[in-house]
Structure 1
Amino acid sequence: MPPKDAPDSEKEKPHYHGHRQRLRERFLSGGAAALADYELLELLLYLAIPQKDVKPLAKDLIHRFGSFAGVMAAEPTQLMEVSGIKETAAVAIKTVQASALLMQKQMVLDKPVLSSWKAVLDYCHSVMAHEQNEQFRLLFLDGKNALIADEVQGRGTVNHAPVYVREVVKRCLLLGASSVIMAHNHPTGDPTPSRDDIDMTRAVQEALAQVGIQVHDHIIIGRKGHASLRSMGYLDPARKRKA
């Protein structure tokens, strides 16, 4: 609280103004590492909601969605179910997420993907790990293994996303892709491939092979890791003969 003899303008300032100034100073001097997750979210929220103390709101959001990343990945309608979050704040949160994803995508766009594999994995993890339903993506590569397009081909339920082999082949041919990387997420968090995942991968691999297009990998994304079907041997024709 300001002292009793403080100027009227100072007395009228809400108690959280000094806290916000300290947050800004810590962020400017130490970056995101200098703040707790809820404080980073608080810093964002007060830009969207300058008229109220947003520290409790930031903590509520992280408690509701489990983590900072979970808040970023939440749908706008879900965010606005939290008391205190209106459209402006929801748009601010989703704009930050979209900006971060665009930066990661541009790190792999038009570059040889196979020589920057960690960037590909980081990108796939960012766009898929916190999705609440399964989604199936294709990363289309040109003859030099540079990314030419990244598209969601199917969205599904908590444990299934539809994949239509014919549509995958059709889209590859339309874009002139020489190879693809398949990716989908497991909302349960465990990236271990199911029997259906393996069978679908082989069906796509066989169909694309007929038109001279290679499947480099099928990556399954979980919240804390990933599985590579190529590393596990499931894209090896010899293993298929033995299976």
Structure 2
Amino acid sequence: MGSNEHDERGFFGEQPVPPVKSGPAPDKPHYLGHRERLRERFSGAEDALADYELLELLLFRLIPRADTKPVAKALLARFGTLAEVLGAPASLLQEVKGVGASVALDLKVIAAAAKRMARGEISGREVLSSWAQVLDYCRASMAFEEREQFRILFLDKKNALIADEVQQTGTVDHTPVYPREVIKRALELSATAIILVHNHPSGDPTPSRADIDMTRTIIDTAKPLGISVHDHIIIGRKGFASMKGLALI
């Protein structure tokens, strides 16, 4: 990265401080008291904060010497929710006034940490009894991707997670899936069950005819080898769809 003029954190937080002149002390910026009050509210009850306020708290650290409320509200106006802000590509984040390359990168680091936390909730645990956490993890990992991804959760005989892998990445509306490759990888990992997951970048998680046919082909290929397909979950910005829950498999 070049000079500080290209880094909004440097612009607000790292500029040289001019010499202090004699006379009355200048008024403190209005946002300092607001920051302290917001920190106190978070410490007392973090769930009491609205999305824009929690986003403000994050931006306090990223843009230390500026009023971050307008930036937080602009991000939410552009992307909709805090989850969508963190899931947005860095290039789109930078289109919002007040967000440069450094802050966009920092927000993506926070998003990556959130994904790791969500994965930790299901790692090594009996997945079918932690279904809400599985859905949270899949949504955090895939809901805001710009291209389709086909992900597989590989489970052992106790339905504990062995591995979580993105097998294919496709276009905005299609991902090539090869049933033999899915089963081959399950055998390599000694998995006895799998959960299929893919996203719809359009936002609508409704299964397509191709999704249903592909899933049934994988089920038919896996069954003779003693591998169960517990479900195929489709993730979208507007929610998720379970093929098992919809009685499609």
TM over 0.5: yes
CA RMSD of superposed structures (Å): 1.9
Do residues 162 (structure 1) and 167 (structure 2) align?
no
Q: Secondary structure at the match of 2:232?
A: strand
Q: Secondary structure at the match of 2:245?
A: coil
CA distance in 1, matches of 2:178, 2:43: 49
What code does the residue aligned with 1:143 have?
K
Do residues 178 (structure 1) and 192 (structure 2) align?
yes
Unaligned runs of 5+ in 1: 1-5, 236-243
Give 2:202's aligned residue: 188
What code does the residue aligned with 1:38 have?
Y
Do residues 24 (structure 1) and 21 (structure 2) align?
no
CA distance in 1, matches of 2:189, 2:75: 40
CA distance in 2, matches of 1:165, 1:99: 32
What code does the residue aligned with 1:182 have?
L
Shift of 1:193: 1.1
CA distance in 2, matches of 1:174, 1:83: 49
- Higher deviation after alignment, 195-204 or 162-171: 162-171
What code does the residue aligned with 1:77 have?
S
Q: C-alpha deviations, 1:83-124, integer Å up to 9, x for none?
A: 322233123212222222222211111111112222212222
CA distance in 2, matches of 1:157, 1:148: 28
What code does the residue aligned with 2:135 have?
L
Give 2:51's aligned residue: 37
What code does the residue aligned with 2:247 have?
G
Paired residues in the alignment total 227
CA distance in 2, matches of 1:45, 1:17: 13
Do residues 224 (structure 1) and 214 (structure 2) align?
no
Give 1:126's aligned residue: 140
Do residues 91 (structure 1) and 83 (structure 2) align?
no
Shift of 1:22: 1.2
CA distance in 2, matches of 1:231, 1:26: 40
Q: 193, 199, 211: which is aligned to 1:197?
A: 211
- Higher deviation after alignment, 223-232 or 132-141: 223-232
Give 2:96's aligned residue: 82
What code does the residue aligned with 1:92 have?
D
CA distance in 1, matches of 2:91, 2:191: 36
> Identity over aligned residues, as a percent?
56
- Higher deviation after alignment, 222-231 or 13-22: 222-231
Give 1:149's aligned residue: 163
Shift of 1:7: 5.6
CA distance in 2, matches of 1:15, 1:222: 40
Do residues 65 (structure 1) and 79 (structure 2) align?
yes
Greater than 3 Å deviation, 4+ residue runs: none
What code does the residue aligned with 1:104 have?
A
- Higher deviation after alignment, 206-215 or 15-24: 206-215
Give 1:239's aligned residue: none
Give 2:226's aligned residue: 212
Shift of 1:174: 2.1
What code does the residue aligned with 1:59 have?
K
Do residues 112 (structure 1) and 129 (structure 2) align?
no
